[in-house]
């Protein structure tokens, strides 16, 4: 037996246990567990403990799987919209210019650590600080069930464009030129039907998860062999199968694996360099600049005809620093452009930006509602077709969430009540699919206070059915219904018994437990169609 590997495993198990405890404490004070994971890394760093081999492998695998799942949910049509690519390019250029000038000015003033930093180095640091965290934003959107909302898709599109900019920078700064064999990677495009065929045949269990791992890791390895950044390979493989009907199922199946491996990534951030009081102070001073980034995002998005609410919520999601900033800084250190202490500074700024951004993300709708008159001043009269406030057209029954449960509920209620039923979902592609089948489905966000204000002014709805993807989405919609003093009936779906109690306390008049009621419905169906004699 290899006792060296046992020692490595035991050491990493101890770190993971500590990560669990601090992550649990973070959750108790309403912060995301990843804040506790980051704190674990810094604590271990302070204690002089170095990153283990197993931990580093977990970190690398977590990032690869994260980027693959981003690709699975990526809509190329979103990326090519001006409000995504133009906003990203203008934002990066402006942030690099402003932050670069600030850092260079501090260098001229002989401020400690900034001393000796020339203009080129200042711009590299500014570039590292221009990104927002893909990990943080996706985790936040997933927890709130807003991945497919308008502001969620805009934020993810901008993140992907930023990631592509980082990949281009990494390739250029390392002087790494793709090999001639990289041209063979274009063969993946005609191979797409075969990849779809394999996905169709994998079923719904462990084989699908294994196929996802093969695509993510295999794609990363193929691109690395071709002299192209492996992260780009993971994204591309996800994009190639993103249009398959089972892509969302695969993303959900791999969610637990991705979250587990990302723990290693968050721990590795805190272990990235030696802590010092000077690095802590400078990292703290960089944190307020995230609000400058956010204000610039908001200004640009509203200029590109997005609603003030969409612009604000997307901007709030992007109010943080990015793990890609650490990668850019690491390249700068490797090339001798930056002092190694900058890695620690950016890691500290990144971690604290997460702590600051977490409560702001949870309160995004409240922030919009509290200062709505201010945000509306920036909204242009002309708006994009996908971001126009919906009208329920006199419907009396509204079903929010048109997944499998919502679709079944819509069809059944339409049998009983006819065309007075309307379905609402914030997934544009799903809405178009339902509309092509003749269903009266509208594109909208159930947490959108502007929509509920419109309902309050012209209220024909007397029954709201919430079939949203998670408990938080249902609770957000219930909060909006309470705000407008909705007098009708409210039915909501739940998966667990503790969720039933939460929904009832938040105003739901009826709660349907999907798992419990499915068994009852199955039995009723059998008795109705094939009773026991």
Q: What is the CATH number of the domain that holds 298?
A: 1.20.1530.20
Residue 163 counted as domain residue: yes
Checking DSSP bridges between strand 463-466 and strand 441-443, what pairing results, if any? unpaired
48 and 10 belong to one structural domain = yes
156 and 36 belong to one structural domain = yes
Report the CATH number at residue 411.
3.40.50.720
325 and 432 belong to one structural domain = no
Last residue of a domain, one of 337, 355, 376: 376
56 and 191 belong to one structural domain = yes
Q: What is the pLDDT of residue 56?
A: 73
Residue 458 counted as domain residue: yes
Looking at the predicted structure, is the pLDDT value of residue 259 above 90? no
- Residue 134 and residue 327 in contact, taking contact as beta carbons nearer than 8 Å: no
204 and 259 belong to one structural domain = yes
Residue linked to tokens 């797409």 = 192
Residue 164 counted as domain residue: yes
Residue 282 counted as domain residue: yes
CA trace torsion 493, 497, 500, 506 (10° rounding): -130
Mean pLDDT, residues 267-278: 72
Residue 412 counted as domain residue: yes
Q: Tens of pLDDT along 352-410?
A: 898 898 889 888 888 988 888 899 888 887 766 666 656 666 778 888 888 888 888 88
SS3 label, residue 492:
strand
Radius of gyration in angstroms for the set of CA atoms belonging to the chain, rounded to a whole number? 25
Residue linked to tokens 């012209």 = 458
Checking DSSP bridges between strand 489-494 and strand 463-466, what pairing results, if any? parallel
230 and 262 belong to one structural domain = yes
398 and 355 belong to one structural domain = no
Residue 383 counted as domain residue: no
Say what the pTM is: 0.73
Q: What angle do CA 398, 403, 409 make, to 5 degrees?
A: 50
DSSP of 96-136: HHHHHHHHHHHHHTT-TTTTT--HHHHHHHHHHHT---HHH
Checking DSSP bridges between strand 441-443 and strand 421-425, what pairing results, if any? parallel
438 and 363 belong to one structural domain = no
Residue 381 counted as domain residue: no
Q: For residue 498, what are the domain limits? A: 389-529
416 and 512 belong to one structural domain = yes
**3-state SS, one letter per residue, for 14-75:** HHHHHHHHHHHHHHHCCCCHHHHHHHHHHHHHHCCCCCCHHHHHHHHHHHHHHHHHHHHCCC
Mean pLDDT rounded to a whole number for the chain:
80
303 and 428 belong to one structural domain = no
Q: Tens of pLDDT along 456-471?
A: 665 678 888 888 877 8
H or E segment to which residue 354 belongs? helix 341-362
User: Which of the residue ranges 76-80, 90-94, 216-220 would you say has the lowest mean pLDDT?
Assistant: 76-80
Give the residue with greater pLDDT, 384 vs 221. Answer: 221
471 and 372 belong to one structural domain = no
180 and 71 belong to one structural domain = yes
Burial class, 85, CB count within 10 angstroms (exposed 0-12 / middle 13-18 / buried 19+): middle
Last residue of a domain, one of 327, 354, 376: 376
Q: What is the pLDDT of residue 384?
A: 63
Sign of the four-CA dihedral 277, 282, 288, 293 = negative
Considering the chain, what percentage of its residues have pLDDT values greater than 90? Answer: 9
Residue 384 counted as domain residue: no
How many domains are there within the chain?
A: 2
Q: Tens of pLDDT along 165-193?
A: 876 776 666 556 667 777 777 888 888 88
Last residue of a domain, one of 331, 348, 376: 376
């Amino acid at each position: 037996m290899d006792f060296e590997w046992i020692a490595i495993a035991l050491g990493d198990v101890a770190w993971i246990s500590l990560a669990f405890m601090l992550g649990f404490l973070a959750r108790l004070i309403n912060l995301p567990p990843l804040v506790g994971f980051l704190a674990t890394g810094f604590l271990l760093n302070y204690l002089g403990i170095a990153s283990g081999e197993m931990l580093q492998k977990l970190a690398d695998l977590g990032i690869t799987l994260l980027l693959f799942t981003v690709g699975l949910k990526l809509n190329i049509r979103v990326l090519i919209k001006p409000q995504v690519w133009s906003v990203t390019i203008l934002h990066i250029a402006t942030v690099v210019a402003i932050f670069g000038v600030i850092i260079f000015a501090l260098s001229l003033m002989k401020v400690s650590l900034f001393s000796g930093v020339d203009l080129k180095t200042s711009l590299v640091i500014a570039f590292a600080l221009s990104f927002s965290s893909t990990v943080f934003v996706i985790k936040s959107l997933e927890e709130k069930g807003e991945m497919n909302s308008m502001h969620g898709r805009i934020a993810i599109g901008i993140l992907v464009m930023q990631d592509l900019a980082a990949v281009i920078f990494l390739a250029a700064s390392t002087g790494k030129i793709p090999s001639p064999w990289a041209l063979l990677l274009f063969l993946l495009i005609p191979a797409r039907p075969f990849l779809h065929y394999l996905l169709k045949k994998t079923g719904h269990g462990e084989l699908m998860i294994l196929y996802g791992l093969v695509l993510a890791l295999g794609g990363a390895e193929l691109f690395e062999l071709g002299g192209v950044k492996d992260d780009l390979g993971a994204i591309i493989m996800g994009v190639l199968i993103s249009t398959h009907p089972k892509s969302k199922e695969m993303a959900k199946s791999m969610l637990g694996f991705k979250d587990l491996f990302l723990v290693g990534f968050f721990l590795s951030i805190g272990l990235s360099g030696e802590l010092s009081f000077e690095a802590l102070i400078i990292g703290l001073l960089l944190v307020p600049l995230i609000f400058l980034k956010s204000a610039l995002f908001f200004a640009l998005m509203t200029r590109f005809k997005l609603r003030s609410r969409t612009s604000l919520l997307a901007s709030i999601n992007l109010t943080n620093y990015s793990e890609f900033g650490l990668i850019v800084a690491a390249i700068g250190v490797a090339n001798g452009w930056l002092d190694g202490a900058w890695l620690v500074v950016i890691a500290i700024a990144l971690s604290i930006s997460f702590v600051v951004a977490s409560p702001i993300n949870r309160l995004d709708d409240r922030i919009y509602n509290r200062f709505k008159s201010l945000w509306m001043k920036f909204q242009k009269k002309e708006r994009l077709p996908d971001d126009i406030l919906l009208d329920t057209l006199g419907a009396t029954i509204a079903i929010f969430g048109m997944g499998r449960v919502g679709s079944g509920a819509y069809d059944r209620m339409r049998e009983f009540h006819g065309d007075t039923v309307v379905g609402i979902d914030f997934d544009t592609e799903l809405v178009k699919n339902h509309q092509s089948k003749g269903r009266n489905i509208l594109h909208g966000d159930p947490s959108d206070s502007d929509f509920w204000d419109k309902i309050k002014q012209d209220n024909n709805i007397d029954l709201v059915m919430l079939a949203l993807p998670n408990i938080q989405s249902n609770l957000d919609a219930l909060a909006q219904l309470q705000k407008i003093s909705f007098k009708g009936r409210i039915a909501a779906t739940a998966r667990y018994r503790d969720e039933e109690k939460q929904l009832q306390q938040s105003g739901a008049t009826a709660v349907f437990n999907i798992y419990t009621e499915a068994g009852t419905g199955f039995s009723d169906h059998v008795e109705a169609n094939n009773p026991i004699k």
